[in-house]
Amino acid sequence: MSAPPAEHPAALSARSLSKRYGETLALSHVDLTLEARKVVGLVGENGAGKSTLLNILSGITSPDSGTLEIQGARQSLAGYGAAQRLGVGRVFQEQALIGTIPVFENLLLGAEARFTRLGQFMRRRDMIRLAQEMVDEAGAKIDVRRMTQSLSFSERQVVEIIRACIGPKSLHGVETPIIVLDEPTASLEKGDERLFFDLIDKVRQSSAVLFVSHRLTEILGICDEIVVLKDGRRVASVMPAEADERDLHRLMVGRERDADYYHEEEQRDGDLGRPGFAARGLTRADVYDDVSFELRAGEILGIGGLLDSGKSELGKGLAGIERPERGEIHLGDGRWTAPEISKAIPEGLGYVPAERLAEGMIAGQPVAWNISSASGADLFSTRWGLWRHRHEATVSAQFIDRLKIKARSSQTPAARLSGGNQQKVVLARWLARDLRVLVLDNPTRGVDAGAKEEIYALLRALTAKDVAIVLITDDLLELIGLANRIAIMRQGKLSRIIDARADAKPTEQELVAMMLGAGEGDQTPKRAA
C-alpha cells in the first residue's frame, strides 16, 4: 500500500525569529506561516516589530536566531536581491522608486541582466514591452515610458504595488510568489485603491500574501488570518469573523480605544483667541488660485479636497516652502508678508510635510539632530555660533519622554525608528520652539491607531495653548473629528468653508459631495480623497 502524499509545504515558514539592536529587543521568538492562496494580516502599534520582521522576510536584515524556509527549503537570505529571486516581492512603507528613470526601469530594477545582449547592450524594447504587460495585467493606465517623477504620488504607489505583486512571476518565474505589503494603500487615491484590491483578489489565487496596514477595516475585510505583534512578540492570531476593530486595538496597545478618539470634548468653539494666522490672495499658477482665510488662536482649520485639489501644495505655500507667485500671510501681530520659511520660523510657524523621509527628516542623523534642526540659528547655538550640545541632549531627552518616542537614546539614528516614532520626532522639532501656527500635511499617514490617538491629544493640547493649526488631510474622519471649521479645495480654489463644531459635525458623505462639486454645476466624476 503506497504512503499518502506529503503535504505541500508552506510558501514561507518562519520559526522563533529574534532580533536585537543594542539593548532594544525588536523581535522575540516570532513564528509566522504564509500559505498559498491566503492573505495574512499583520498588525501592531508603531515599534511592535513589524518592520523588523518584514526586513528579515525580504532579506534586508538577518535575524540573530530562528529559521526561515521558503517553499520548504531552509534559506539564509543574502540581501534583498536574493529574496526577490526566490519570489519575495515587497511594497515598502516609504516609496522606494528612483524618480529620474522611466517607469519600466523601476519595474524591472534588479532584473536587467535578462535584457542584455553581449553583456552590455540593453534590449530596451523588450524591457518596455514586458513592463507594459505587467501594468496592463494589473489594470492600471500608466505608460511605462514616462519618467517616474512625472507620476502622481498615488500612481507611483501603484507602480510599487505592481512590481511587488506581478514582478516575482513575470521576472523570476516563481509559481507561488510571496508578496509582502507594508502600508500599500496609505498613499492611494480611491480609484487606485479599487485597482489594488482587485489585484489582490487576482494574485491571491497563486500567491501567499502578508498585508500590513493601520487601516483595520482593510485588514478585517481582505485577510484570512490576522497576526498581532506587541513589543516584538506575537501575542495573538485571530480570524476576521471573530474580531472587530476594537478587539484588534485592544490586542495591539493593551487597552480599549478611547470612545472619543479625536478628543472632541476638548475642542474650543466659543472661546477662541484673537486672530492668529491669515492668508490672502495666495496664488500659484495651475495649482491654487486666490486662496484667502483667517484662523484664530486655538482653532483647527481642516483643509480637505480631492488628491488633485492643490491642498498639499497650498500647505507648502502657506509655510513658504514653495513660495506662491502672489499673495501674503499674516502671523499674529506681525505684518502682511510673502510666505518664506526662513522668516516664518522665528515668528512661530512650523510645518510638517506629508512625506517625512523625503522632506521631513534626515533619517541617517540622530533623533537629537532631527529635533534641533529647525532651531540651530537660535535655540541650540550661542551668539558666537557655538553649538549647545548639552542643551540639545536635554531637550531631546525631554521630548523622547513626553511624546513616548521609542528610541534607545537621543543619539539613535532616526532611520531605526518606526514610522510613527519618526513622525513624533518631526513634531518634536516644532514643539521645541515657541509655536504660534502649525501647518500639518497628513500628520498621521502610516501611523498606528494608538500613536494616532496620542498625536490627536497633542494637537488638542497645542490648541489649549492658543496655537492655531492648519490641518491638511486625506482622512475624512480625521478631518471631521479634529477641525473647528473645514475648508474645501476644488480644482485649486477654496470653494467654501463650513462649520464643524463639536456638537454639529458634518458627515463624510456631505464632505465628499462638496469635494466633487455636487450642486455646483460640475458633475464630472472624480476620485475622492
Asked if the model's pLDDT at residue 469 lies above 90, the reply is: yes
- The Cα–Cα gap between 347 and 153 comes to 32
Burial class of residue 343 in the structure, from the number of CB atoms within 10 Å of its CB (0-12 exposed, 13-18 middle, 19+ buried): middle
Burial class of residue 286 in the structure, from the number of CB atoms within 10 Å of its CB (0-12 exposed, 13-18 middle, 19+ buried): exposed
Q: What integer pLDDT is reported at residue 525 of this predicted model?
A: 32
Asked if the model's pLDDT at residue 465 lies above 70, the reply is: yes
375-403, pLDDT tens digit by residue? 877 888 888 888 899 999 999 999 999 88
* Sheet hosting strand 208-212, strand order edge to edge: 88-91, 178-182, 208-212, 38-43, 225-230, 233-238
Q: What integer pLDDT is reported at residue 255 of this predicted model?
A: 61
Mean pLDDT of all residues in 281-296 = 94
Q: What integer pLDDT is reported at residue 171 of this predicted model?
A: 83
3-state helix, strand, coil in the chain (%, to 5): 35, 25, 40
Q: What pTM does this model have? A: 0.67
Q: Residue holding cell 468653508?
A: 497
Helix (H, G, I), strand (E, B) or coil at 290: strand
Asked if the model's pLDDT at residue 295 lies above 50, the reply is: yes
Q: Which three cell numbers stand for residue 421?
A: 516614532
Q: Which residue has the higher pLDDT, 95 or 461?
A: 461
Q: Which three cell numbers stand for residue 190?
A: 480611491
- The amino acid that residue 253 corresponds to is V
Q: What integer pLDDT is reported at residue 528 of this predicted model?
A: 35
Secondary structure (DSSP) of 90-123: EE-SS----TTSBHHHHHTTT-GGGGEETTTEE-
Q: Residue holding cell 516614532?
A: 421
Q: Which domains does the chain have, with CATH numbers?
A: 12-253 (3.40.50.300), 258-348+435-529 (3.40.50.300), 361-433 (no CATH)
Q: What integer pLDDT is reported at residue 256 of this predicted model?
A: 58
Q: What integer pLDDT is reported at residue 119 of this predicted model?
A: 65
Q: How confident is the model at residue 233 (pLDDT cuts 50, 70, 90)?
A: very high
417-427, pLDDT tens digit by residue? 887 889 899 99
- 85 touches 111 (CB < 8 A): no
Phi then psi for 111, rounded to 5 degrees? -115, 20
Q: What integer pLDDT is reported at residue 441 of this predicted model?
A: 94
H or E, element range at 367: helix 367-372
Asked if the model's pLDDT at residue 231 lies above 60, the reply is: yes
Q: What integer pLDDT is reported at residue 3 of this predicted model?
A: 45
- The Cα–Cα gap between 43 and 53 comes to 12
249-288, pLDDT tens digit by residue? 888 877 655 657 889 999 998 888 888 899 999 999 989 9
